[in-house]
Amino acid sequence: MENNLIPWIIALPFASAIAIGLSGRFSTHDKLDEEGIRKHRGMIHTLAVGSVGLSFLIAVKLFIELHNPDLPARVLTSHVFDWFDITIPSASGFRDVPIAASFVLDSLSGLMTLVVTGIGTLIHLYATGYMEDEESYARFFCYLNLFTASMLILVLGSNFPLMFVGWEGVGLCSYLLIGFWYETPEYAAAGRKAFVANRIGDLGVLVGMFALVSVAGSFEFSEINRAASMMNGEFTMGGVALGTTATVACLFLFLGCTGKSAQVPLFVWLPDAMAGPTPVSALIHAATMVTAGVYLCCRLSPIFLESPTAMTVIGVVGSITALMAASIAVVQREMKRILAYSTVSQLGFMFAGVGVGAFSAGFFHVFTHAFFKACLFLGAGSVMHAVHAHGDADIFKLGGMKKYTPITRATFLLSTAAIAGFPLTAGFFSKDELLLGATTIAMNETALPSWLGWLVAISLFLAATMTAFYMFRLYYLTFTGDYRSADHGHDAHGEEGHDEDAHHDDDHHDHAYDAHPHESSWQMWVPLAVLAFGAIAVGFLGLPHAFHLPNWWGHWMDASISHLPGFGPDDEVTNMTPVYIAMTLGVAAWAIGMGLATVLYREKNEDTFTPKFPKPVFNFLFDKWRVDEAYEATIIGGNRGLAKFAGRIDKSFVDTVFTGIPAFVVKMASWLFTRIQVGAVHAYGAVLLVGVLGLGWWFMYPHPTLDVQTSTDSAEITAAPGLGYTYRFDMDDDGNFDFPQAPQALEIDFEDDASRMQIQRVVARVRAAIAPVRWPNDRSALGHLKDRNRRIYELHPPTSEIADLQRILQNVDGVEAIHWHAAGHERVFGDAGNAAFDYNEEDFVGYMLTVAQADGSEQEMRVLPELTIIPDSFFPRVQFEGSPPRVGFDENGRIKIFPTATVNDAGEPATRPDSVLVGGVRQDEPFLLGLGSFATVAQYRMEVFPIVRARVEVRNAFGNTASEEIEIVLKESAPERVALGGEVRR
């Protein structure tokens, strides 16, 4: 159903971003006094929060509309305008596929929109408090609003290109916001890193998109999903079959997801992204943008389900990510860093879920995660704000914060419980669903292998245990115990005991924090409270349906997300074992992790556990498995070397050859061209006159072009039409016009018009059984391959052959010379024929002989290599003893063959008896070679084709004439019907 409100959801934050951006430009702070700045900021945050809030309200309204029973499909669409057409190849040639700017709000994108706008509103509100001391206030909110708008385009776009606009948009905003404090080089570097990692992934999205579109023939998600069953065909790229379309597309799309959603191996950017302001971390790098990958998988769930291979890859990668990130988080010491790795780990959970086909569960985790992770980040931000930590806060310099920041502490605790999987919190339910998906796959017969299910289940259990552990570690160390920065006097750095191996970055913890922390303002704690409530409550939307509890989530998502057969929200669960296993694993993970953390860290002021890890292990974990170093050593290092090399090439070679020289040439040409522009009006007039004369020439002289189409029994000769043209045709090359008053097209029937055509002269072609060359493999004495790609050969005409031919043909009375030229190239190469010429296999017709006769006339012969016979050695020459057979012309210019009758010294016939054959019969007497018939003279096959020369003379209204000649080689079947001087011989 059309709904015009949808675009407004996007337009509001977008407009606000523009307004704020412009206001920032036009009222820089140095022009304003205190009061002005205050007013300006008031304007900015009213706009920023208001626009997103309004979007949220619209989203809520539309979401309620989705429940309308008249909308069974639960889809609202909005077509805004036709964007552009793109031409794509399809089975039936090229076709235009329209791409519209249209949006769709269904159960999937509806929920995501609620998350983006709802949590977005809270974070915008929070940011007004958090960023209150920031100078680039306008810039921040401009970016943040722009991000929201882009994210909404990503979510609501109904087709791939539009989604990609959002996809790139959020990437850009993320880059801008990570590097928000770009004065600090590391922060700017973090932004760049994020951008590069994302760009690698984006390439995957594009490839995946075109793979899908090439089959579905549409960019619309709905169309692509409808075409899911067609995705099982082979997908070839450059002639190489890569697998089914679904597999190829899904793997490439997943590459995009690993970038955007920080999966192994492209996850490295996300922890560094914490360089940005905390609200950014909360909004972009925890709640919304990073889940775009999961969203994309859910959006295209029918396609992914077509490819078990891709699903397996996704499940494995997700599991590895979950485990790896969780293990890194265990030893980290900065609040946002721990949360960042936790995010990566949780994203791994989601993808592991997707990999086992639990799309709905995966997306449920996206939903719940958005609440508690946003709350955690904001809580961390609140703590940092309280102690005036810039960038990040070291938990070993905090402690006891519950005294100073009670509200933050309460919300943080609730969220920690949720993420750790405390029973009946949101995280508990969503993790349980994921585990359930895994165990179900493990223990049921499906398209997906059961080992995948076990792998996912076990790694998720381990990762969840670690999650509970490091989250409570974080909570205890931050909020319980004593505030370790209370005393300014001593060096906090040395106090901490455990960081003997302080080779890691310690920019931020070589000084203590503010001694007197304070609770944050209402703008900051209200969002915390709301989010914490969500972290506890939203889990109840997805109660496990195996126990016949109302599972609103599953039903709701069923409209947009596909599932494996038998896995629907309404399907009765027959085998309860997986359910219990999942439940047990979930609760156990929470209990073990939280219990361990409680024992080790509750009210403690130092970490007595992780430093006891063997040092290599600790360092390995602390340095996030040294992935960055590995990249540095391999890809980046290699790249850098390559770049240096390329740079040198670029400077020395490309800059001169490809840039410098053309630029110089063009400049010279420009100088030359403008010399005619001498400034005097007479010169201008003269050039104008030249143009007029040129046009005059064109219009006053006819331009005939002849076109001929032959078939077996007729030929149609057409001259180009022109105003006032009259035509005369000469069909026999005798200079008289046979058709003096002709129309522009002349059809000749060979049979009926034979007499009228009066073909009297025929150009003979001799096809000789020479050059039994196997092109292109032979690199014979004949020549060599000159250009492999274009298959051009440098061909030396066989000298011995020429000698033979010369011997035969020079016996023709009055022949003075034989000129060779390659037929396709019309290049004469002399009597001896030694010169080389380019041989292009495709258009090679044969050698052409021009036989110049004593009377000055020329006869043409064409010698075609016989390609069918391949003797052992090249050119087995017939040794002629005495005089060879002769080929000549009779008085009418017809081919006449004289098998010789001379005898040798021994009195035997001088020529080999079978050297002249017609139809396998040896000929002894001179005979005429008829049209269409052939004779074998020595190793030469001689054949006669009639070539008709037609000439048209065009006369236009001005009385000017021009003529054009065309040569028609009559087809093989035609000759016998055409009279040659009344004689036809077979």
Partner 1 sequence: MNDWLFVAPLLILGLGSILMMLVDAFAKEKSELAILSSITMGVAGMISASALLSGAEAADAPEMVTRFLAVDPAALFFDVVICFGGALSALLAGGYLREHGLERGEFYVLLTLTTLGAVVLGRSTDMLSLFVGLETMSLGVYAMVAFRRGSSTAIEGAVKYFLLGSFAAAILLFGSALMYAATGSTSFTGIAAAMGDADPKLVLIGLLLIIAGFGFKVSAVPFHMWTPDAYEGAITPATAFMSVAVKSAAFAVFVRILFVTFGDELSMSLASGWPPVLAGLAALTMVYGNIAAVGQENVKRMLAYSSIAHAGYILVGIVAAFRVGSEAVSAVLFYLLAYTFSNILAFGSLILLGSRGREAVSFNDLRGVGRRHPMAALPFILGTLSLMGFPPTAGFLAKYYVFSAAVQAGGSMILLAILGMLTSAIGAFYYLRVTVFMFMRDPEPGQVKAIPMKSGYVVGALAISSLFVLGLGVMPGDVLEAASRAASLLLG
Partner 2 sequence: MTTAGFVLFAISSVIAFFSAIATVGARVPLRAALFLMVHIISLAGLYLTLSAHMLAAVQLLVYAGAVVVLFVFVIMLIGPASETKPTMKNMGIRLVSLIGMILFTVTLAFALVSHAADWVAIETSFGTVEAVGHELYLNTLVPFEVVSATLTVAIVGAVAIARKATEFEVGEAKAARQATIDALEEARQEAA
Partner 3 sequence: MEIGLGAYLGLAMVLFGIGASGFLMRRNALIQLMSIEVMLNAVNIVFVAVNRFHPADHVGQIFSFFVIAIAAAEAAVGLALVIALFRIKKTVESDNADTLRH
The residues of the shown chain that bind partner 1, judged by CB under 8 A, are 25, 81-84, 663, 666-667, 669-671, 673-674, 676-677, 679, 681, 683-685, 687-688, 690-692, 694-696, 698-700, 702-705, 719-725, 954, 956-958
State which of positions 691-710 bind partner 2 (CB under 8 A). 692-693, 696, 700
- Residue number with CB closer to partner 3 (241 or 688): 688
**3-class SS of residue 852:** strand
Size of the site for partner 2 (CB under 8 A): 12
**3-class SS of residue 885:** coil
Quickly count: other Cβ atoms within 10 Å of residue 401's Cβ: 27
Task: Pick one of partner 1, partner 2, partner 3, none as the site partner of residue 705 (Cβ within 5 to 8 A by kind).
Answer: partner 1
Q: Please select the residue that binds partner 2; options are 612, 682, 774, 788, rule is CB under 8 A.
A: 682
Does the footprint of partner 2 cover residue 685 (CB under 8 A)? yes
- Residue number with CB closer to partner 1 (705 or 857): 705
* Shortest separation between residue 692's beta carbon and partner 1, angstroms: 5
Nearest residue to 303 (alpha-carbon basis) of 409, 180, 221? 221
* Shortest separation between residue 727's beta carbon and partner 2, angstroms: 20
Given the rule CB under 8 A, which residues bind partner 3?
674-675, 677-682, 685-686, 689
Largest CA distance in the chain: 133
Location of structure tokens 């626009």: 51
* Shortest separation between residue 744's beta carbon and partner 2, angstroms: 22
**3-class SS of residue 603:** coil
* Shortest separation between residue 760's beta carbon and partner 3, angstroms: 44
- Residue number with CB closer to partner 1 (84 or 451): 84
- Residue number with CB closer to partner 3 (674 or 879): 674
CA distance 851 to 857: 9
Task: Pick one of partner 2, partner 3, partner 1, none as the site partner of residue 675 (Cβ within 5 to 8 A by kind).
Answer: partner 3
* Shortest separation between residue 692's beta carbon and partner 2, angstroms: 7
Residue pair 460/315 in contact by the 8 Å Cβ criterion? no
CA distance 112 to 105: 10
- Residue number with CB closer to partner 2 (646 or 690): 690
* Shortest separation between residue 675's beta carbon and partner 3, angstroms: 7
CA distance 550 to 775: 76
CA distance 145 to 18: 9
Q: Please select the residue that binds partner 2; options are 91, 240, 672, 680, rule is CB under 8 A.
A: 680
Helices (H), 332-425: 335-355, 359-387, 401-404, 406-420
- Residue number with CB closer to partner 1 (646 or 690): 690
Site string for partner 2, 936-975 (x = CB under 8 A): ----------------------x-----------------
| Contacts for 385 with CB less than 8 Å, ≥ 6 apart | 129, 130, 278, 520, 524
Location of structure tokens 């008709």: 948
500 DSSP assignment: G
CA angle 148–363–52, rounded 5-degree value: 20
- Residue number with CB closer to partner 1 (636 or 720): 720
- Residue number with CB closer to partner 1 (686 or 870): 686
Phi, psi at residue 631, to the nearest 5°? -60, -45
Does the footprint of partner 2 cover residue 675 (CB under 8 A)? no
* Shortest separation between residue 678's beta carbon and partner 2, angstroms: 8
Token pair for 60: 């809520």
- Residue number with CB closer to partner 1 (683 or 903): 683
- Residue number with CB closer to partner 1 (424 or 654): 654
Residue pair 761/733 in contact by the 8 Å Cβ criterion? yes
Task: Pick one of partner 1, partner 2, partner 3, none as the site partner of residue 42 (Cβ within 5 to 8 A by kind).
Answer: none
Task: Pick one of partner 3, partner 1, partner 2, none as the site partner of residue 817 (Cβ within 5 to 8 A by kind).
Answer: none
- Residue number with CB closer to partner 1 (580 or 684): 684
Site stretch for partner 2 (CB under 8 A), options 68-76, 546-554, 675-683, 791-799: 675-683
- Residue number with CB closer to partner 1 (638 or 724): 724
Nearest residue to 77 (alpha-carbon basis) of 65, 88, 87, 86? 65
* Shortest separation between residue 955's beta carbon and partner 2, angstroms: 14
- Residue number with CB closer to partner 3 (678 or 867): 678
Helices and strands counted in the chain (H then E) = 30, 26
Give the 3-state secondary structure of 113-161: HHHHHHHHHHHHHHHHHHCCCCCCHHHHHHHHHHHHHHHHHHHHECEHH
* Shortest separation between residue 957's beta carbon and partner 2, angstroms: 8
Does the footprint of partner 2 cover residue 690 (CB under 8 A)? yes
Q: What is the DSSP string of 891-905?
A: TTS-EEEE----B-T
* Shortest separation between residue 723's beta carbon and partner 3, angstroms: 18
* Shortest separation between residue 975's beta carbon and partner 1, angstroms: 32
CA distance 815 to 852: 6
Task: Pick one of partner 2, partner 3, partner 1, none as the site partner of residue 96 (Cβ within 5 to 8 A by kind).
Answer: none
Residue pair 220/159 in contact by the 8 Å Cβ criterion? yes
CA distance 193 to 333: 22
Does the footprint of partner 2 cover residue 657 (CB under 8 A)? no
Residue pair 936/916 in contact by the 8 Å Cβ criterion? yes
* Shortest separation between residue 722's beta carbon and partner 2, angstroms: 16
ω into residue 740 within 30 of 0, thus cis? no
In angstroms, the first-to-last Cα distance of the chain is 79
Does the footprint of partner 2 cover residue 986 (CB under 8 A)? no
* Shortest separation between residue 694's beta carbon and partner 1, angstroms: 8
Strands of 815-822's sheet, edge to edge? Answer: 766-768, 858-865, 847-853, 815-822, 827-828
Q: Please report, as ranges, the residues that interact with partner 2 according to CB under 8 A.
A: 680, 682-683, 685-686, 689-690, 692-693, 696, 700, 958
